[in-house]
Structure 1
């Protein structure tokens, strides 16, 4: 099997066009079409559906695309490890941190730790996708390790529980919380709120608890961005509900912000380290995973 054909197939699927892939790969379009035809002959099935709007993979093509991602990634990692044999641990490690989770506190510390202990490792940290998408990226081998809100048992993934956090009410209007150490859910939702979107684990916990209590909250805006939340809270536009670690991350950016535990009822979320249960981790990824577990455990203690 020619690796160049697999790489060309992946590029065509990613772009959705043989013509544009031809220009990017600097391969004549007829030659590129011949490579795909050779793959289809090898596997005995059509791999692409062609139309005026471009190309999309067939069901067989989707299977090949998924495996190509793993094959090409492992090949890149193999070349890196061979090049650095008998030298320091090196390689690119993709780390996912669920938005509004413990990762908001430890990302910089993880970068600092890896840089000092293993300068040959390059981290790519992704905090722009939700927990479900993070676990899917780990499952398909596009991400090495993730710190996410625990989705429960998934056969192809392995989870290590790090902590359980209670949700807190966060506001910059400190006079609202004078002498207060906790607030009821009914009191919290009486304020203008900025909340995560409905697909986020935190929002699902909030909405489920509200439904059980017969309450309704009004979100004036939705976001999973700590920076957006911090700026809005700092401007006095509203309050929010977050795990304690994310609340601390907001307070770092907005010194006047305060957070108090929500009770009657209280709400909790679990965070876990997630890796593939089927795909082996590179030496560099194992090192990063160990540091991520240690830092997350220390910061949640």
Structure 2
């Protein structure tokens, strides 16, 4: 499968027409059509449904679009690393993370490194642990920030010198807002909005002393901002980490920590035997220096 043809395919999915894609690629429409038919013949699957007004994708075409995007991202990332000038540290660093206030420490390390390496560019990807791990394993990220517990067999890591606190996000005018903390029995009948992270349910089952799946879960989230809008509109109460949603004086929401206290430790991780670019290697050294000095 030719990388060049994958770029042609992605142009067609973007423009939703052969003619529009051919124009953007500066090639003739018959040439582009022939390349796409050859691709379908090579794969043995129909990828495109050619309508009168626009191109749509078959189920196989949608899968190829997802995989092609990942492949082309990795190709572009590799080319950028190999062609970076040797005389100075420059290039791109890709970091994936869930929502956590501990990203402030990553940001401080990046800001400190920028003083001596101003030509490094950082690309941030937000998602839950499953999303970050998938992109790490595919080589699309240099580093990931994971909330414990996480399976570390495939990774090297440094523990971030910070912890996040689990609690309940709720409207300020609800009865529970008068509490200083939230007990297991307080949430067992509440409509709850919970994280989709796969490891979270096991941890909460231990805290609740009952099966997490038996709670009244009305919605799930992978990024908490949208969950906070659901809380504001009265759908339910969000189990989430502190300091991620505005709960200041002018907010309609408040956060109350759980009791017994539930804290989440965090790690910055990378694949074992990873071959880093000069920029990523320098960044890791800066993180090690910054984090070890605070332990």
**Change beyond 3 A, Cα 1:238–1:206:** same
Q: Helix, strand or coil for the counterpart of 1:249?
A: coil
Which of 40, 43, 49 is residue 45 of structure 2 equivalent to? 49
Give the whole-Å Cα distance in 1 for the aligned partners of 2:210 and 2:263.
15
Q: Deviations over 1:103-130 (max 9, x none)?
A: 5655654664454453211111121x22
Q: How does 1:169-184 map to 2 (within 5 A)?
A: 169-171=168-170, 173=172, 176=176, 180=180, 182-184=181-183
Partner residue in 2 for 1:254: 247
Residue aligning to 1:124:
123
Q: For 1:215-230, list aligned pairs within 5 A.
A: 216-230=214-228
Instruction: Report the structure, 1 or 2, having the larger helix content.
Output: 1
CA RMSD, aligned part only? 4.6
Q: How does 1:7-46 map to 2 (within 5 A)?
A: 7-12=4-9, 16=13, 19=18, 21-32=21-32, 46=42
Structure 2 counterpart of 1:98: 98
Q: How does 1:236-247 map to 2 (within 5 A)?
A: 239-242=237-240, 246-247=241-242
Runs of 5+ unmatched residues, structure 2: 50-56
1:22–1:32 Cα contact (<8 Å) kept: yes
Contact kept, 8 Å, 2:168 with 2:256, in 1: the verdict is yes
2:276 maps to which of 256, 278, 281? 281
SS in structure 1 of the partner of residue 42 of structure 2: coil
Separation in 1, partners of 2:136, 2:75: 15
Matched, 1:74 2:71: no
| Structure-1-length-normalised TM-score | 0.66
1-structure distance, mates of 2:115, 2:267? 25
Aligned residues: 276
Deviation track 1:44-87 (CA, whole Å, cap 9, x = no partner) reads x9246335525757x999999876654442112222x12xx323
Task: Name the TM-score, length of structure 2 as normaliser.
Answer: 0.67
| Contact 1:12/1:18 (<8 A) preserved | no
Contact 2:70 2:140 in 1 (8 A): no
Q: After superposition, give the CA deviation of every residue in 1:156-188 in whole Å (9 maximum; x if it has no partner).
A: x444444665533344649846674x5321224
